[in-house]
Amino acid sequence: MRIEFTYARPREYFRDQQAQAARAAAMPSLLGAVALIAVGPSWAAFALLSPDVTDELALAGLALMLIAVGLAIRAHDQWQEGMTVPASWCLPREWLITEEALESTTPIGSTTWNWAGIRYAVRIPNAYFFRAEVGGRSFDVPREPLTEEQEQALEDFMVERGLVIDEPVRAR
């Protein structure tokens, strides 16, 4: 087997792969914002409508709402940061896939992954995702530039090597 191709992955290519981690990073701030938006107006209304309570407590309710807005902005920024990939990830990349290894080369450098060190493979909508045995490092091969014959040859090769295909694998 010898598969060679060049492909520049657009930023959108990484959206699905980055989305789960980006959501996880933003979730604490988002939940805090939702909680404070729920509590702040109630607190302020209670303070304004109760004759026994000082107006400072109404201001505290307003402060909670302002903090909620800040947390919502922070959640958005965290999500945006998680969804943004370095420009180097989008450089044109040359792939060479053989029975021995997968080599990926950009103008910046080259990386070789020996198949013996690969723990598993998963087919996702736009790529094949591989996880290495050592260090849990991962890499992907885009599916879009592959011909049907190349994709079939790669899948047959992965099955022969005992790599898992089409089973979602959760992080441990």
- Tens-digit pLDDT profile for residues 39-87: 988 888 888 888 887 778 888 888 999 999 999 999 999 988 888 888 8
Residue 95 tokens, joined: 């792939």
Tell which CATH architecture fits domain 91-160.
Roll (2.30)
CA angle 143, 140, 15 (to 5 degrees): 80
For the chain, which residues make up each domain, given as ranges? 12-83, 91-160
| Whether the predicted pLDDT of 27 surpasses 70 | yes
Q: What is the mean pLDDT of residues 135-148?
A: 88
How many of the other CB atoms lie within 10 Å of CB of 57? 15
